[in-house]
């Protein structure tokens, strides 16, 4: 049995770890609230964008825009959104496992990678897979400008014909305890998304439906990228918060166990001392 001194030392060290994980949990709870708010604040724009796109698609028949052209998917670009840091449970592992499965899966002849987040970049570098583009700084703080930069690159790749489709792979925030690895086609823009007509009345288009389409579609792409990044950010914060929560719980259990052992050791030593005193006294009395 370890000595009382050792036990005391271990309890103290576990307790300080617990304090750390608890503090981190609080930090990420706050960050999660903020990124959840960002997701919510993006919603009105999403609704308005969908409405406008719907109204436009109702009028523009067989819209010829480079971002709408469908090609057989032979060579695709896969955008993998991971985090920058660990200590967030299976958040990064899940997304990277899925990405590896997709690359090896043989669904596409050729997969070019666009990597967001340091974890993903490091993961694929270690495996000797090169990426078409990497964005190590993006997840430090998701901004519209950052999302725009990625979206422009993707749109340019697609329009240039270098890739037949662009997919986004990211962790979707479902709830605090659930993140879902999601694969979403970004380009070409789905017909069903643009063809939800139902627009009442004839619109006046200025300058022209075609010109409007050229302003709206790139924004649609930008916004989808932004949404994926925001979602992934919220999911990451949630995952880290839960990881810290269970770490705090585990530390609590360990402290309880150690305290029990410590008390037993203390009792044993008291009992031993008592026995010594009593037997000493008896020995004196019998003399």
Partner 1 sequence: MSEGRLRLKVVTPTRVVVETEADSVTVPGALGALGILPGHAPLLATVRIGELTYQIGARDHYLAVQNGFVEVAADPAGGSGGTVTVLADVAELPSEIDVEAAAAEKTAAETALKSAAGTEFDRQQALLEGAVTRIAVAKRR
CB of 220 to partner 1, least distance (A): 11
- Strands (DSSP E) along 102-154, which ranges? 110-116, 133-135
Known active-site residue 88: yes
User: In the complex, what is the shortest distance from the CB of residue 148 to partner 1, in angstroms, rounded to a whole number?
Assistant: 8
The DSSP bridge partners found for residue 77 are: 112, 166
Nearest residue (CB) to partner 1, 7 versus 212: 212
From residue 129 to residue 158, the character string flagging contacts with partner 1 as x (rule: CB under 8 A) and all else as - is ---------------x--x-----------
Among 26, 30, 51, 268, binds partner 1 (CB under 8 A): 51
CB burial string 181-192: b at 16+ within 10 A, e below: bbeeebbbbeee
Q: How far apart are CA 18 and CA 262, in angstroms?
A: 19
**Number of residues forming the site for partner 1 (CB under 8 A):** 29
Positions in 175-214 near partner 1 (CB under 8 A): 200-207, 211-212
Q: Give the range of 9-17, 70-78, 185-193, 217-225 binding partner 1 by CB under 8 A.
A: 217-225
The first and second tokens of residue 165, run together, are: 């489709």
Q: Does 226 bind partner 1 (CB under 8 A)?
A: yes
List the interface residues with partner 1, window 56-115 (CB under 8 A): 56
Distance CA 235, CA 88 (A): 10
Question: Which one, 222 or 231, has the nearer CB to partner 1?
Answer: 222
Q: How far is the CB of 149 from partner 1 (least distance, A)?
A: 13
Cα 158 to Cα 135: distance, rounded to the nearest angstrom = 18
Report yes or no: 79 and 186 within 8 Å, Cβ to Cβ: yes
Which two structure tokens, joined as six digits, stand for 176?
């605090």
> How many CB atoms neighbour CB 12 within 10 A?
12
For residues 10-39, which are near partner 1 according to CB under 8 A? Answer: 38
Number of Cβ atoms within 10 Å of the Cβ of 228: 24
Q: How far apart are alpha carbons 22 and 63 in whole angstroms?
A: 55
CB of 247 to partner 1, least distance (A): 33
State the minimum distance, in angstroms, from the CB of residue 199 to partner 1.
8
Q: How far apart are CA 169 and CA 95, in angstroms?
A: 7
| Residue whose CB is less far from partner 1, 206 or 286 | 206
The tokens for 269 are 């030593």
Catalytic-labelled residue, pool 55, 88, 187, 265: 88
Cα–Cα distance for residue pair 242/240, rounded to 1 Å: 5
Among 193, 215, 246, 259, binds partner 1 (CB under 8 A): 215
Out of 223, 233, 242, 244, name the contact with partner 1 by CB under 8 A: 223
Helix, strand, or coil (residue 187) = strand
Question: Would you tell me which residues interact with partner 1 (CB under 8 A)?
Answer: 38, 41-42, 44-45, 48-49, 51-52, 55-56, 144, 147, 200-207, 211-212, 215-216, 219, 222-223, 226
Q: Which residues are catalytic?
A: 88
């Amino acid at each position: 049995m370890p000595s009382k001194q050792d036990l005391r030392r271990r309890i103290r060290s576990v307790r300080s770890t617990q304090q750390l994980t608890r503090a981190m949990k609080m930090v990420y709870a706050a960050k999660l609230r903020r990124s959840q708010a960002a997701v919510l604040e993006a919603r009105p724009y999403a609704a308005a964008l969908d409405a406008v796109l719907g109204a436009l698609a109702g009028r523009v028949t067989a819209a010829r825009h480079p971002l709408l052209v469908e090609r057989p998917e032979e060579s695709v670009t896969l955008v993998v959104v991971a985090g920058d840091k660990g200590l967030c449970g299976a958040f990064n592992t899940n997304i990277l496992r899925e990405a590896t499965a997709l690359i090896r899966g043989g669904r596409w002849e050729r997969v070019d990678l666009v990597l967001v987040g340091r974890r993903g970049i490091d993961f694929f570098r270690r495996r000797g897979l090169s990426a078409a583009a990497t964005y190590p700084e993006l997840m430090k703080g998701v901004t519209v400008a950052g999302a725009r930069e990625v979206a422009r690159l993707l749109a340019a790749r697609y329009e240039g014909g270098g890739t037949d489709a662009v997919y986004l792979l990211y962790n979707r925030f479902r709830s605090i305890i659930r993140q879902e690895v999601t694969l979403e086609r970004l380009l070409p823009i789905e017909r069903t998304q643009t063809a939800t007509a139902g627009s009442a009345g004839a619109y006046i288009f200025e300058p022209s439906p075609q010109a409007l389409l050229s302003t709206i579609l790139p924004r649609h792409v930008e916004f989808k990228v932004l949404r994926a990044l925001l979602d992934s950010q919220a999911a990451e914060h949630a995952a880290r918060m839960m990881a810290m929560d269970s770490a705090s719980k585990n530390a609590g259990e360990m402290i309880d166990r150690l305290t029990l052992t410590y008390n037993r050791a203390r009792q044993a030593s008291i009992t031993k001392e008592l026995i010594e005193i009593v037997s000493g006294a008896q020995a004196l009395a019998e003399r």
